[in-house]
Structure 1
Amino acid sequence: MLLSLVRPPDDETPDEFRLDLFLPALPQSVPAVRHLLRDLLAALGLEPDTACLLLTELLSNAVRLGGFPAVTLELRAKVVRITVADHVPGAVAVRRADPDDTSGRGLFLVEALADAWGVTDIGTYGKAIWATAAAVPVAA
């Protein structure tokens, strides 16, 4: 994973960021990126739980499909936006899993937790699923 970092002057605290990541479709990619997002948000004094859950669900689906998912993590105007692109074209639908199912709840959770979410078709290159959540300060 290669990141380019721009450091603000010492007297400024950044309140926005954007990271573009291109990952192998390996199960360990999910916790690695989740920890990165959690650390970024915590360093800014923001609650990381909702954003990290959204990331986990979206990236887990992409890793399961194989290929090399592309992830964009953004904080702009007090909104966290997570975008995960994969190489598999096609429609995405929220599924209502049965109580005994061991999977199939990811987009249901995304729909329930995100302030907004959607899918952008990128043609033969696949699709990008995005979700947003308010960047809420950690309660003191």
Structure 2
Amino acid sequence: MVWKCISYAGVGRIVFIEETMTTAMYKQLLANNLRQSACEMGLEEFILIQDNDPKHTSRLVSNWLDEKEIQVLDWPLQSPDLTPIEAVWALVKCKLAQFGKLKKDELKEKIKEIWYNIPVNLIQKYVNSFQKRCLEVYKAKGYNTKY
């Protein structure tokens, strides 16, 4: 599993998770990487967008986010594909496909190489499309869209 983040300023950290993620692990991952990643991207403020995975919405994580005064955007159920980061990750997977089968360490290195070389203007394009995606979901009354 991979945790990653983006903003209008570009890509943030990417973290590989070797074990099955638990709520406590997710909270610790955020504690170790979220603000630090925002800082590395030059952000003083940010709003966290995450899907409705039970680990993300757990009391433990929600309380921690409140305690740290991190704003979280409410997210529609069953809509993880709506987030700009999913479009960015699809691009990473597409680029990875050209390398064929890789060993685990090689795969991680290629992922990092691709991730940290994604142009900022491409990230901005995906972030800018977010409002359009949300509007499409609204028009479709929550049903599937082309995204």
The TM-score, its normalising length taken from structure 1, stands at 0.29
Higher relative helix content: 2
**Which structure is higher in RCO with an 8 Å CA cutoff and minimum separation 6?**
2
**Normalising by structure 2, what TM-score?**
0.28
